[in-house]
Amino acid sequence: MTLPAEVRRLAGADMDAAPSVADAWLRVGPDGLIAAVGPMSSFNASAQAGHEIVDARGGFVLPAFADSHTHIVYAGSRDGEFLDKIRGLSYEEIARRGGGILNSADRLHATSEDELFRQAMRRADMMTAKGTGAIEIKSGYGLNTADELKMLRVAARIREASPARVRITFLGAHAVGRAYAGRQADYVDMLISEMLPAVGAEGLAEYVDVFCDKGFFTVDETARILDAAARYGMRPKIHANELDCSGGVQVGVSRNAVSVDHLERMGADEIEVLRTSRTIPTMLPGASFFLGMPYAPARQAVDSGLPVALASDYNPGSSPSGDMRMVWALGCIKMKLTPMEALAAATVNGAAAMELSGELGAISPGRAASFIITLPVPSPAFIPYEYTSPWIQSVYLDGRKI
C-alpha cells in the first residue's frame, strides 16, 4: 500500500483502492525513513552497494498496524469476570456488581509503578511482535489523581521503551472512582479542578477521552470535560455509542474530536454528523467479538464516504487482545469490509486517528520504514481469510527489525 505524502487518510471508495507496487523494491534510509520505492524493473543492484539487502522472498510488504485505541496499562487481568460472562452476566451487570472498570482500578491502586510498567510493557512488546507500529494508550483505571498520574507516567515510560510510536490519552472519566460512589457530579468537578491541571502541568497527555454512554458520563458532563481539557491543549478522542445512542458522536464532533470510538449503536444521524466533520469514526470489532455485541456499521460508514479506522481496544474487560491481525480479520468477516478497506482502516486511518499519518501508516518515501514483510501468501486477501495461519515473516519499525 503506497500513498503520496499528502494523503493522510482514506475515505469511502478510496479505502479499497489504495495503490500498490507489484514486484517491488524499497530502500530504507539511515534515518529510518523510507527513501524510495519502485518496481524491480527499475532496480539497480550496483547502486545499492554498501546497503544491507533483505530479500522478501515472495512476501508482501504491508504498513505496520496503527492501533489508535488501547488501554494496555492495567494490573493483572479480569479472568474471574470471564466466568461470570460465560455464565450469562452482561458487561453492565458485571460493572454494577463492583466488577469491571472499578475492579481494575482496585488492582491498579495496589500495584507499584514499576510492576505496572513491567506488565504493560509485555503487552506492548506482544503488539509490536504482531506488527503494530503505533499505539495509543489511555489512562482510566486510576480514577483518582495519584493513580491516574501513575498510569500516565507508565504510558510515558512505554513511549520511551517501545519501538512503536506512542500517543497518550487522559481518560479520567472512564468511571466514577470508588471514593465518589453516588456522587458523579462531584467526581466530574474534581476531575476538572484537580486531575486535569495535574495532567496538564506534567504535559502527560495529548488527548482527552470520556466514556460518554448510558450508565457512565452524560453528554453535558462530556462537553464540560472536553472544554476544560482544551485549555491544556488536549484534543478529544472519545468513547461513544457502545451501549446506547448516547449523543457521544454529536458532542465529540462539536468539539472537533480527532476520533469517536466504538459506535456499536449508530444510526443515520450519527453518520450524517460525521460526514460534515474531520472526526474519524473508529471501530473496535474485538470488543464486539468478546462481549457478543453488535458490530459497528463499518460497511455503511464506508459506503457513506467516511474514513473508518479499526483498533484493538486492548483492555482487560471488553477486549483482552491487542492483536491487529485478528482485528483485520474481524473487519472483513464480521463487518464486511474488503481486505484492502480493513487494512487501510488498521493502518493509515488508525495513524490518522492519532495524528500520525504523515509519519507512518503507508509505504511511501518520507514516511517511517515501519512495515511487515509477510510470508509468501497468494494475496493480501488470503491473510484475513485464513485468519489463524501465521503470516508474518518479519516486522521493521523505523527501519529496524524487531
Choose from ligand NIG, Fe ion, none: what does 101 bind? Cβ within 5-8 Å by kind.
ligand NIG
Choose from Fe ion, ligand NIG, none: what does 102 bind? Cβ within 5-8 Å by kind.
none
- Residue 259 to residues 251, 254, 367, 401, Cα–Cα distance (Å): 11, 12, 22, 31
Q: Which is nearer to Fe ion, 148 or 313 (CB)?
A: 313
Is residue 209 a contact residue for Fe ion (CB under 5 A)?
A: no
SS3 185: helix
E strands, 314-384, in order: 371-374
Is residue 148 a contact residue for Fe ion (CB under 5 A)?
A: no
- Give start and end residues of each alpha helix (H) in 166-263: 184-190, 196-202, 219-230, 248-254
Q: Which is nearer to ligand NIG, 24 or 330 (CB)?
A: 330
Least separation in angstroms between CB 290 and ligand NIG: 9
Query: Do 101 and 141 form a contact (C-beta atoms < 8 A)?
Result: yes
Q: Which is nearer to ligand NIG, 16 or 84 (CB)?
A: 84
Least separation in angstroms between CB 71 and ligand NIG: 6
Q: Which is nearer to Fe ion, 67 or 313 (CB)?
A: 313
Choose from ligand NIG, Fe ion, none: what does 287 bind? Cβ within 5-8 Å by kind.
ligand NIG
Q: Which is nearer to Fe ion, 318 or 393 (CB)?
A: 318
Cell numbers representing residue 266 in the block: 449508530
Q: At what angle do helices 113-129 and 145-161 cross, to 10 degrees?
A: 40
- Residue 49 to residues 44, 52, 57, 73, Cα–Cα distance (Å): 10, 8, 20, 44
Least separation in angstroms between CB 110 and ligand NIG: 16
- Rounded to an integer, what distance in angstroms lies between the CA atom of residue 223 and that of residue 124? 31
Q: Which is nearer to ligand NIG, 105 or 360 (CB)?
A: 105
Least separation in angstroms between CB 103 and ligand NIG: 8
Least separation in angstroms between CB 352 and ligand NIG: 20
Query: Do 362 and 64 form a contact (C-beta atoms < 8 A)?
Result: no
Least separation in angstroms between CB 169 and ligand NIG: 12
- Rounded to an integer, what distance in angstroms lies between the CA atom of residue 348 and that of residue 63? 8
Least separation in angstroms between CB 319 and ligand NIG: 6
Alpha carbon distance, N-terminus to C-terminus of the chain: 21
SS3 content of the chain, % helix, strand, coil (to 5): 40, 20, 40
Q: Which is nearer to ligand NIG, 71 or 255 (CB)?
A: 71
Least separation in angstroms between CB 305 and ligand NIG: 26
Least separation in angstroms between CB 101 and ligand NIG: 5
Binding mask 301-320 toward Fe ion (x if CB under 5 A, else -) reads: ------------x-------
Choose from Fe ion, ligand NIG, none: what does 322 bind? Cβ within 5-8 Å by kind.
none
Closest-approach residue to Fe ion (CB) = 313
- Rounded to an integer, what distance in angstroms lies between the CA atom of residue 73 and that of residue 279? 26
Q: Which residues are at the interface with ligand NIG (CB under 6 A)?
A: 71, 100-101, 104, 211, 239, 242, 287, 313, 315-318
- Rounded to an integer, what distance in angstroms lies between the CA atom of residue 393 and that of residue 375? 5
Burial class (CB in 10 A: 0-12, 13-18, 19+), 37: middle
Choose from ligand NIG, Fe ion, none: what does 132 bind? Cβ within 5-8 Å by kind.
none
State the maximum Cα–Cα separation within the chain, in Å, rounded to a whole number: 72
Q: Which is nearer to Fe ion, 315 or 370 (CB)?
A: 315
Q: Pairing between strand 24-28 and 34-39?
A: antiparallel
Q: Which is nearer to ligand NIG, 104 or 374 (CB)?
A: 104
Choose from ligand NIG, Fe ion, none: what does 104 bind? Cβ within 5-8 Å by kind.
ligand NIG
- Cell 514486484, located at residue: 23
The contact set with Fe ion (CB under 5 A) reads 313
